[in-house]
């Protein structure tokens, strides 16, 4: 079995990618097609409006995530982007459970901002990288988000 070189995580802000979404959606590893009625029902059940970060918060949120992961989990951050409605994070291999890594990143932002309402969706996506080519492709994907925003590919000094 190949060893893991890295893990790409994606998580979204509260209410921005509901079951039934036109982009499709995943539940328990199964991908489902758009379902406008289901999406409307999900939106009706939401006790809060969708959460979006303000443009001027994005770099600060990324700093919170990176600082917490490095200090609390000792992970190597290989790439990171924070957008108004989602985060992509690529880390090096770690012995920490993936759910603990995501919780650490999400909690750092929630604790620092203390918005009095949900910021994040409950779940997240994870993609393991078992070879250098996959790791490089996923790093480029994350960095492209930053470049398209007009930022450097690595806007935080902690990114390796």
**pLDDT tens digits, one per residue of 70-88:** 999 999 999 999 999 999 9
CATH code of the region 1-16+52-160 = 3.30.70.1290
Quick one: pLDDT band at residue 28, thresholds 50, 70, 90? confident
Do 89 and 83 contact (CB within 8 A), yes or no? no
Within 28-97, where are the H helices? 36-45, 58-68
Q: What pLDDT does residue 29 have? A: 77
pLDDT of 88-138, one tens digit each? 999 999 999 999 999 999 999 999 999 999 999 988 999 999 999 999 999
Q: What pLDDT does residue 1 have? A: 59
Domain boundaries, the chain: 1-16+52-160, 17-50
């Amino acid at each position: 079995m190949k060893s893991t070189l890295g893990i790409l995580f994606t998580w979204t802000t509260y209410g921005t990618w509901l079951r039934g979404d036109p982009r499709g959606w995943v539940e328990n590893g199964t991908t489902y097609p758009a379902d406008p009625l289901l999406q409307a029902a999900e939106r009706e059940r939401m006790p809060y409006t969708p959460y979006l970060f303000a443009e001027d918060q994005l770099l600060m949120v990324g700093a919170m995530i990176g600082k917490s992961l490095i200090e609390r989990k000792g992970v190597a951050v290989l790439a990171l982007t924070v957008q108004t409605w989602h985060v992509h994070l690529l880390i090096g291999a770690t012995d920490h459970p993936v759910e603990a890594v995501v919780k650490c990143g999400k909690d750092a932002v929630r604790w620092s901002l203390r918005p009095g309402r949900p910021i994040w969706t409950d779940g997240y996506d994870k993609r393991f990288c078992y070879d250098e080519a996959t790791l490089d492709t996923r790093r480029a994907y994350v960095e492209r988000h930053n470049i398209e925003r007009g930022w450097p590919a690595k806007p935080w000094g902690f990114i390796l």
